[in-house]
Amino acid sequence: MPKQILMSREVLLTGAIALLLAIIATRFPAFITPSNLANVFNDTAPLILLAIGQMIVILTRCIDLSVAANLALTGMVVSMINVAMPGLPVPIIILVAVGFGALLGMVNGILVWKLEIPPIVVTLGTMTIFRGTIFLLSEGKWINAHEFSDPFKAFPRAELLGLPLMSWIAIAAVIFFSIVMSRTTLGRAFYAAGGNPHAATYAGIDVGRTQFWAFTISGALAGLTGYLWVSRFAVAFVDLAGGFELSVVAACVIGGVAIMGGIGTVVGAMLGALFLGIISNALPVVNISPFWQLAISGGAIIIAVALNAQANREKGRIILKRAEHAT
Amino acid sequence: MLMKAEKKSEPASAENDMPVLTLNGVTKTFPGVTALSEVSLELFPGKVTALVGENGAGKSTVVKILTGIYQPNGGQIEIDGSPIRFPTAQDAGDAGVTAIHQETVLFDELSVAENVFLGHAPRGRFGLIDTSVMMDRAREILEGIGANIEPRTKLKDLGIANKHLVAIARALSIDARVVIMDEPTAALSQKEIEELYELVEELKTQGKAILFISHKFDEIFRIADSYTVFRDGALVGNGAIADVTEAELVKMMVGREVSQIFPNREHNTGDEILVVEGYEHPTEFADISFTLRRGEILGFYGLVGAGRSEFMQSLFGITRPSAGEVTIDGEREIIRSPADAVGKGIVYVPEDRGRQGAIAALPIFQNVTLPSLGRTSKNGFLKLAEEFKLAREYTERLDLRAASLDTDVGNLSGGNQQKVVIAKWLATQPKVIILDEPTKGIDIGSKAAVHEFMAELAAEGLAVIMVSSEIPEVLGMSDRVIVMREGRIAAELSGDDMAPETLVRHAAGI
């Protein structure tokens, strides 16, 4: 039954995206040409990558507010490595980015797991620390386009079968994590730990350790996105992707991830990200003022949360009936 | 058994023969369960009435009805002889009924005075709370009950006894006429208990009617004027405390036919499978030692809070004991985590199945295989076909009827959710299964099914530990019974020693 609900929620969201595209097309037909849609997808790739990580974290009843700061710090670190060692091959750079990002995620995870600090406090703290660290490393200076090596900048733009690698990486991540979430014991543990932490504990799942791995994955994806971001825009600075963590959380919520944990899919997170990506790409070209752009995004979030709350309330009724029963 | 019923008007003396509060044939049902069946109760000003009964007899349901948390399905509540309804807790408070709970329901982060006056604080100009008046009045009330507590102190800085005093001060501040005390001495030291008794005397002289709920017979006989006994949600006796003996009260509490509804079991037990020696925890329990054999059902009886569940959780690896040894099947083992316990053949079906049992948002098959994922996966990858096979095998064995194993557990009925939880644990192929209150809150028919099933498990050679607070169940199902009291084993009973009175005596320490 939840499968059906989730499926219908994803179908619903796909429908909403189609409707959105149709409305945009009446004002600006060129928006829905395949090449433009591919561009929009490519633009949204960072949001998709981060939303997948965030989805897993939210699934375990946590939240990761440090993703954008992690992205910026890892971006700065790989940029400085590139400036210092221009000859270092891009695959190594990517490994460093993923590893360094994962390390930052592990810091969050350890604090949540071992010290049992609420995740919102932990990641609010590390978010500030990561930004501060960028400032210390860069002394507040920007790294600009001419300072990067050419292969470093070229990688995300390189095309394969007509799509930039940036897009392929997002697609690969969606497929990879869909498999992880549905076909591995770790994926099952994420759902169980968030769905009912007590029951998960009794079933032999270490909830704290599961949350640690969720933060690690979120960090690794943020690190990967950090490299892709600085190389695509060919710039690294302290406030890179400032405030982006809120769009990431919003994408998850729109994508049907229950903020109370236990419910959500990778495809849902991707659709949520695409919905936001289309709004932010389309509204400027159809001459809608930035105010409406924000209001529409905000409205989408509230509608999504209201729908989620409705679905959860039905569950609550069952639990209440049982609780009354037990007295 | 209504042998004392004719004496119920006796506690009323000449000057106050009018009860302040009366329950008249009150019934409360929940889907499938009758919690209270036409019970009556009278509380008189200046008198203490003790409410006595086993766990599950309906005492807390009465408290919840009197404080406006539950609405009765039948019968009526009367104050000074006129019918009244308590749609909300506020209405009960306005009518002068207040309860002091076993665990105080106060606010740690607020001051003592704020706790006393929450909801009815004295107002000054512009409708703002008049803090200085509130402090003065709180101090006055606290001094009145002999409590030396500064009203500005935050509640969290007080000990449990002083928190009770604050709760009592709160009761006085709303000018309560009926004070319900729900096991008020459960967490107090002897000295604090003495002080509480004095306070009860003080409340009596002020003309309050007191309903005193307790498991401790010594204090019932010390402070109560009259008694009312409930059993299985029905009134079985009441009268003046002077006319009754301890033994008679115990008999009223537990007296009933025990054998009829339980499956006949052959007590064929095999080798020792589990030996626990000297299990200790710094705060919850001490010196727990026992053995368990294959095919045996070992009952754990005790009052709520005797440390039974806490010990079981420790045996299952959720908390670590500070000392003690476990031998499973001849091997000395250390249980580090629940996963470890499951791996070594011990599973625990917790009491609070809603919270600790099933995962509502996951389908049946995923719930069933959750503790067995080690067997249905390879290198961290799940083998879905094997998951379905395992889930099908055990759900069919439990006769679970659902459209598909893909059905979300949250969409199943309570009974079927229970079956999923049990299937989940059986699928781990355990050696020892711990069932914590396996039939709490389920209807008679389902209870019989659970009992039948427990007997089957034991017959197959599984060793069963059953934690239960229901005496008939403990006596009807167990081969042996361990009675716990205050974190220790008070008695181990078998054969003819397993009698209701003996259990109650050991559990209550009389």
Q: How confident is the model at residue A324 (pLDDT cuts 50, 70, 90)?
A: very low
At residue B102, the pLDDT reads 63
At residue A131, the pLDDT reads 95
B436 pLDDT above the threshold of 90: no
DSSP per-residue letters across B143-192: HHTT----TTSBGGGS-HHHHHHHHHHHHHHTT-SEEEEESTTTT--HHH
| B338:A203 CB<8 A | yes
Which chain A residue shows the shortest CA-CA distance from B56?
A327
Average per-residue pLDDT for chain B: 83
| Best residue in B359, B365, B382, B447 for a mutation probing chain A (most A CBs within 10 Å) | B359
Taking the Cβ of residue A264 and every Cβ of chain B, the question of whether any pair is shorter than 8 Å is answered with: no
| B354:A322 CB<8 A | yes
Taking the Cβ of residue A209 and every Cβ of chain B, the question of whether any pair is shorter than 8 Å is answered with: no
Which chain A residue shows the shortest CA-CA distance from B410?
A315
| Best residue in A183, A202, A260 for a mutation probing chain B (most B CBs within 10 Å) | A202
Kindly state the greatest CA–CA separation across chain B. 81
| A1:B354 CB<8 A | no
B223-237 average pLDDT score: 89
| A203:B31 CB<8 A | no
Instruction: Please state which of the ranges A194-198, A323-327, B191-195 shows the lowest mean pLDDT.
Output: A323-327
Q: In whole angstroms, what separates CA A95 from the centre of its chain?
A: 19
At residue B445, the pLDDT reads 60
Residue A49 is assigned to a structural domain of this protein: yes
| A199:B358 CB<8 A | yes
End-to-end CA distance of chain A: 28
The one-letter amino acid at B165: L
Taking the Cβ of residue A204 and every Cβ of chain B, the question of whether any pair is shorter than 8 Å is answered with: yes
At residue A12, the pLDDT reads 82
B88-93 average pLDDT score: 83
At residue B7, the pLDDT reads 39
CA-nearest of B499, B476, B460 to B263 is B476
The one-letter amino acid at A228: L
The one-letter amino acid at B131: T
The one-letter amino acid at B58: G
At residue A226, the pLDDT reads 96
| B357:A200 CB<8 A | no
Which chain A residue shows the shortest CA-CA distance from B384?
A183
End-to-end CA distance of chain B: 23
B363-367 average pLDDT score: 91
Task: Please tell me the distance in Å from A30's CA to the nearest CA on chain B.
Answer: 42
- Residue B257: Cβ-neighbour burial (10 angstroms; 0-12, 13-18, 19+): exposed
Sheet arrangement for strand B226-231 = B97-100, B178-182, B209-213, B48-52, B226-231, B234-240
B274 pLDDT above the threshold of 60: yes
| Best residue in B28, B370, B442 for a mutation probing chain A (most A CBs within 10 Å) | B370
Looking at the DSSP assignment, which residues form a beta bridge with residue B491?
Answer: B483
Residues A261 and A59 sit within 8 Å (Cβ to Cβ)? yes
Taking the Cβ of residue A186 and every Cβ of chain B, the question of whether any pair is shorter than 8 Å is answered with: yes
At residue A325, the pLDDT reads 36
| B354:A205 CB<8 A | no
A135-160 average pLDDT score: 90
Number of domains in chain A: 1
Q: Which of A50-59, B83-92, B331-340 has the highest mean pLDDT?
A: A50-59
Who among A3, A183, A195 is closest to B381 (CB)? A183
| Best residue in B373, B377, B426, B434 for a mutation probing chain A (most A CBs within 10 Å) | B373
Domains of chain B are 1-11+30-96+176-256 (3.40.50.300), 107-175 (no CATH), 257-345+431-510 (3.40.50.300), 364-429 (no CATH)
Output DSSP code: residue A236: B
B98 vs B110: CA distance, rounded Å: 20
The SS3 of residue B208 is coil
Contacts of B356 in chain A (CB under 8 A): 196, 198-199, 201-202
B139-149 average pLDDT score: 84
Q: Which of A124-138, A305-319, B43-57, B118-132 has the highest mean pLDDT?
A: A124-138
At residue A102, the pLDDT reads 97
How do strand B74-79 and strand B82-84 relate by DSSP bridges? antiparallel
At residue A316, the pLDDT reads 38
At residue B442, the pLDDT reads 63
Average per-residue pLDDT for chain A: 87
What is the token pair recorded at A253? 């919520």
Residue A32 is assigned to a structural domain of this protein: no
Who among A1, A183, A326 is closest to B440 (CB)? A326
Instruction: Please state which of the ranges A91-105, A125-139, A199-213, B1-15 shows the lowest mean pLDDT.
Output: B1-15
Q: How confident is the model at residue B258 (pLDDT cuts 50, 70, 90)?
A: very low
Who among A204, A263, A323 is closest to B354 (CB)? A323
| B371:A203 CB<8 A | yes
B508 vs B165: CA distance, rounded Å: 25
A271 pLDDT above the threshold of 60: yes
Instruction: Kindly calculate the radius of gyration of chain B based on its CA atoms and give it in whole angstroms.
Output: 25
| B414:A198 CB<8 A | no
Contacts of A324 in chain B (CB under 8 A): 30-31
Who among A202, A319, A326 is closest to B348 (CB)? A202
Percentage of residues of chain A with pLDDT beyond 90: 56
Q: Which residue range forms the structural domain that includes residue A22?
A: 2-27+41-326
How far is the CA of B396 from the CAs of A111, B368, B442, in angstroms?
Answer: 44, 12, 21
B260 pLDDT above the threshold of 60: no
Q: Which of A177-181, B170-174, B213-217, B504-508 has the highest mean pLDDT?
A: A177-181
At residue A126, the pLDDT reads 96
Task: Please tell me the distance in Å from A11's CA to the nearest CA on chain B.
Answer: 19
Task: Please tell me the distance in Å from A97's CA to the nearest CA on chain B.
Answer: 25
Residues B142 and B112 sit within 8 Å (Cβ to Cβ)? yes
Q: Chain B neighbours among A 56-85 (CB < 8 Å)?
A: none
Residue A59 is assigned to a structural domain of this protein: yes
B20-26 average pLDDT score: 90
pLDDT in tens, A86-100: 989 999 999 999 999
CA-nearest of B164, B168, B187, B165 to B179 is B168
At residue A165, the pLDDT reads 93
A319 pLDDT above the threshold of 60: no
B149-174 average pLDDT score: 83
Residue with tokens 């009045």: B137
B143 pLDDT above the threshold of 60: yes
B393 pLDDT above the threshold of 80: yes
Task: Please tell me the distance in Å from B503's CA to the nearest CA on chain A.
Answer: 23
Residues B61 and A327 sit within 8 Å (Cβ to Cβ)? yes
Task: Please tell me the distance in Å from B54's CA to the nearest CA on chain A.
Answer: 14
Q: Which of A182-196, B79-93, B240-254 has the highest mean pLDDT?
A: A182-196
At residue A289, the pLDDT reads 78
pLDDT in tens, B275-322: 999 898 888 888 899 999 998 999 999 877 788 888 998 999 988 888
| B359:A195 CB<8 A | yes
B26-47 average pLDDT score: 85
Q: Number of residue pairs across A and B with CB atoms under 8 Å? A: 126
Residue A35 is assigned to a structural domain of this protein: no
Contacts of B363 in chain A (CB under 8 A): 1-3
At residue B2, the pLDDT reads 42
Contacts of B417 in chain A (CB under 8 A): 322
Contacts of A191 in chain B (CB under 8 A): 359, 361-362, 366
Task: Please tell me the distance in Å from B99's CA to the nearest CA on chain A.
Answer: 18
At residue B437, the pLDDT reads 84
Taking the Cβ of residue A287 and every Cβ of chain B, the question of whether any pair is shorter than 8 Å is answered with: no
What is the token pair recorded at B303? 């009052």
Q: How many helices (H) and strands (E) does chain A have?
A: 13, 2
Q: How confident is the model at residue B396 (pLDDT cuts 50, 70, 90)?
A: confident
B129 pLDDT above the threshold of 80: yes
At residue A64, the pLDDT reads 96
Instruction: Please state which of the ranges A67-81, B365-379, B402-416, B479-493 shows the lowest mean pLDDT.
Output: B402-416
The residue ranking higher by pLDDT, B10 or A42, is A42
Contacts of B438 in chain A (CB under 8 A): none
Taking the Cβ of residue A313 and every Cβ of chain B, the question of whether any pair is shorter than 8 Å is answered with: no
